[in-house]
Amino acid sequence: MTDNLTIALAQTRQRVGDLAGNADAMLARRAEVVAGAGAGAGAGAGAVDLILFPELQLIGYPPEDLVLKPALVARAGEVLARLAAATADGGPAMLVGTVERDGDALYNVQALLDGGRIAAVRRKHDLPNYGTFDEKRIFASGPLPDPVDFRGVRIGLPICEDIWAPAVCAHLKRQGAELLISPNGSPYEIDKDDLRSGKIAAARVAETGLPLIYLNRVGGQDEVVFDGASFVLNGDGALAHQLPDWREALVVTRWTRGAGGWRCAPGEIHALDPHPADIYHAMLVALRDYVEANRFPGVVLGLSGGIDSALSAAVAVDALGAERVRCVMMPSRFTVDDSLDDAAACARMLGCPYESIPIEPAVAAFDGMLAGAFAGRGRDLTEENIQSRIRGVTLMAISNKFGPMVLTTGNKSEMSVGYATIYGDMAGGYSVLKDAYKTTVFALSRWRNANRPALGLGPDGPVMPERVITKPPTAELRADQKDSDSLPPYDILDPILHGLVEEELSVAEVAARGFDRETVARIERLLYLAEYKRRQAPPGVKLGKRNFGRDRRYPITNAFRTA
């Protein structure tokens, strides 16, 4: 039995499906702590006993239906055996997240690798099946897990959702656990930091009296992004370590067994992003990792002189660097001089390539081509949408010719009510604003003009003219057009949408908050009618609790209304 433990926390990224690459990265992290390179190791710090990795780190998270492939499960077993063999050198044991098949059942597991073998395996008990998560569809629930014996210490391994209710940790306490280690794959959501540490983890520590290590990953995976922000709580609830958000980190923690049980020595407490810096970093990291993982040389976007495209361009430059962001102004007869000036100024302030490709020749060609078919009909929304679709074709042509991914620029307010053109401004590969309401776009733009994000590659100082933020929003698809011609002001629209989408309230419940009932009913109707568009929208980073995509899955054909 030992009275001292040294445990390394590897807050790291992943690549779903890259078993060999993920394994090599874990072995490299292990080699770092062996060499004394882990943050906090220090000179003469002594050997590390155990290194921890996040949930399902070997195969990546969320794996979705990829784990239903027998070949992946078989290969995961082979690679896990290679990792286990590496621990025969007498160095640190490894706690690795992977999958395990038992007959027809597939489990989400943590494997303890020590002394050249798989020393123990524990299966996840509570499987989340809400919002982003659908683990019950692919995994079987394991039994209430017993602690593992590690060098004379009884360690409980509640996996992610296992700490969100009391049962698993209470069982581990009854079975003699002395320390809780919770590997996680917990995606970013607004205000989730306080929920994780201040409520969920703190509650489990208070109930059991046991210290808890909470280890999360960082990096983007399609529509979700992981913010890290791992931490260690001692048995009295005191915060011993707080790892940074958004960055990889390798931290060595030191534990001593005393009369009151195991206690972690104090370490560095990193400040986490305040609002809205956290949202901006979520967009930045998600876009960077999506572009890099899918091997795009960069992005191209339409820079209109409006706030949505200006913010999208700023995020792209901060994520990828100015040289990898190509901005294209595509003016029509309705584009005013202010928009031309503002778009050029944005590109200049960001330092990224910029060009203007007027769409009027293509508009004239379509007018002539459709003149016979449209004879006797006046100009309407059809001609407005043709302009948007010409712009989409232009950007896709540049993408096909030179390789950059088209970055779309629509926000959640527009996507909610269908104020977007399918096959036009919705056409592209990714959207950083997909889950950001228009009022959030304004807040982020003001923040970025006053702050440079810690992880940003873009310039210091303002990245868009103040007029971009203050002028009335417009699509400029007809003369003197304003968003407010068709929609309520955004400071009214967005709270209505938040009630209908994020909170799933009825028209009556939203109207009771002081909004006009007819307006709320009209917004609900537009919300449902636009479902078919959203199904064909590109992926975009999840920011809130109910993003359009993984979280909110409504039928396209839907006759239900609450008003």
Q: Which of 34, 184, 220, 208 lies closest to 95 in space, CA to CA?
A: 184
Residue with tokens 């917990």: 186
Rounded CA gap, 72 and 369, in Å? 52
SS3 track for 377-420: CCCCHHHHHHHHHHHHHHHHHHHHHHCCEEEECCCHHHHHHCCC
Q: Tell me how far CA of residue 53 lies from CA of 12, 121, 287, in angstroms.
A: 8, 14, 24
Q: Which of 474, 470, 490, 444 lies closest to 314 in space, CA to CA?
A: 444
Rounded CA gap, 195 and 126, in Å? 18
SS3 track for 491-527: HHHHHHHHHHHHCCCCHHHHHCCCCCHHHHHHHHHHH
DSSP-derived secondary structure letter, 270:
P
Rounded CA gap, 352 and 347, in Å? 5
Query: Cβ atoms within 10 A of the Cβ of 19, count?
Result: 20
Q: Tell me how far CA of residue 109 lies from CA of 24, 80, 153, 210, in angstroms.
A: 19, 12, 20, 22
DSSP-derived secondary structure letter, 46:
-
- 154 pairs with which residues across the strands? 149
Q: Which residues contact 326 (CB under 8 A, 6 or more apart)?
A: 298, 299, 300, 301, 352, 353, 355, 398, 402, 404
Q: Tell me how far CA of residue 104 lies from CA of 55, 100, 142, in angstroms.
A: 22, 11, 13
Cβ(114)–Cβ(150) below 8 Å: yes
Q: Which strand (E) or helix (H) includes residue 261? A: strand 261-264
Cβ(457)–Cβ(317) below 8 Å: yes
Q: Which strand (E) or helix (H) includes residue 468? A: helix 466-470
Catalytic residues: 55, 124, 160
Side chain identity, residue 268: E
Rounded CA gap, 307 and 439, in Å? 11
Residue with tokens 């509650």: 203
